[in-house]
A = this chain, B = another copy of it.
Amino acid sequence: MPDVFVGGVGMTRVGRRSEPLPELMADAAHAALAEAGLDAPEAIVVATMNPEEFVGDGNFASNVATQMGFADIPTLRVETATSSGAAALYAAFAQVAAGLRASVLVVGGEKMTHLATPRVSEIIGRSIDPYERAYGATMPALAGIVTRALLTRGAITMREIPQVAVKNHANGARNPLAHFQEPVTLQEVLESRMVADPLRLLHCCPISDGAAAVVLTGEPTHVRVAGIGQGTDTLAVRHRRDLASFTATRMAAREAFGMARFGPERVDVAEVHDAFAPFELISLEDLGLFPPGKAGRATLDGDTAVDGRLPINTSGGLKARGHPLAGTGIAQIVECVWQLTGRAHGRQVPHASRALAHSIGGLATNNWVTLLEASS
């Protein structure tokens, strides 16, 4: 299989945005294409989770391509709920690796802040098993149950979880494109209102608008896609053996590291799916970046801070950069590329040569791990 490289990246500021979604996506896409030195890609893969319900438009791949001035360029949409961006990257990777296209633009995004929060929650909730949904399950409710399981297992404490939010807000404060650019204190997290016991508001990522784009190419560049892995799990959370670990992440990591032929110990910086603060801790262990039961302590000790041993979510993560759903998996790649090419101004990790991006779809039903390596 021929190597696949990142030709260019781009993203919008994440937050409340007034522009229509296709315009946000076009902005991100044109930035990535400009960096790649391309007037146009050979093909486009579009990631959106649910544009029909969020913005009222379908046929979104054609919609976005037309908006970008690329009505004559092959385009398709990929969706795996909240990990759609990572899945789109994989679909584009396959096209380039197969030699079907020399360059593919991957662009993802979502726009939700114009809707009332309960409506957004309902739409996102369609990614939950229908029977669990019928009993009132929402994403925060299920995340609360997962967190309870994690606490019951005893490997993590309610002192460690909020530190994830504190760290990621501190990182977001260094990222001019982040939704939240203000630090929060441990006290503020602990005193924020309860959302789904034991999760409080500041344990949860915000509802964000935004878009991100990556150009993949067969032409060697400074950053190579070293591995991509996908893992899946039952739609129903109740069908799982263990609530306090995500099988889908472990499968995805195994596949990605297998393709890359290096292990988690070689990763220098990572973007991890922290839709809820405890998910970062679960994921760090599922990914093999920290030994079982050690991620919480490591977070408290500052090991995952920008100046720590293994900086996690230097962008601010979903928690502070924000979570424009299908844009998130691609925004993670953008941050990783910026880290690997020395362009993460104000939050640069020194000598980063291998980066990991981890994206969760639904309640960990469809997770992805992407490994990027700086070309030597």
Q: Which residues of A contact B (CB under 8 A)?
A: 1, 43, 49-50, 52-53, 56-63, 65-66, 71-81, 87, 90-91, 93-95, 97-100, 123, 126-130, 230-236, 239, 247, 251, 361-362, 365-366
Min C-beta distance of A255 to chain B, whole Å: 8
A to B CB contacts below 8 Å, 16 in the list: A1-B98, A1-B99, A52-B53, A57-B126, A59-B127, A60-B79, A61-B366, A62-B127, A62-B366, A72-B251, A74-B230, A76-B366, A77-B78, A93-B98, A95-B98, A98-B99
Contacts of A61 in B (CB 8 A): 79-80, 366
Give the distance in Å from the alpha carbon of A87 to the alpha carbon of B74 in the complex: 10
B235 and A59 contact, CB distance less than 8 A: yes
- Are A59 and B77 in contact, with the CB atoms below 8 A? no
Q: With A and B bound together, what is the CA distance between A128 and B59 in angstroms?
A: 8
Q: List the B side residues contacting A76 at CB < 8 Å.
A: 78-80, 87, 90-91, 230, 366
Residue numbers in B under 8 Å from A247 (CB-CB): 72
Closest to A363 in B: B59
A77 to chain B, nearest CB (A): 4
Contact B127–A66 (Cβ < 8 Å): no
Name which of A60, A98, A127 has the most chain B CB atoms within 10 A of its CB.
Answer: A98
Whether B66 contacts A234 by the Cβ 8 Å rule is yes
Cα(A3)–Cα(B88), bound, Å: 24
Query: Which residues of B have CB within 8 Å of A251?
Result: 72
Q: Is the CB of B80 within 8 A of A62?
A: yes
Contact A63 B235 (CB under 8 A): yes
Min CB–CB distance A93 → chain B (angstroms):
8
Task: Please name all residues of chain B whose beta carbon is closer than 8 Å to the beta carbon of A53 when the two chains form the complex.
Answer: 52-53
The answer to whether B66 and A78 touch across the interface, beta carbons within 8 angstroms, is no
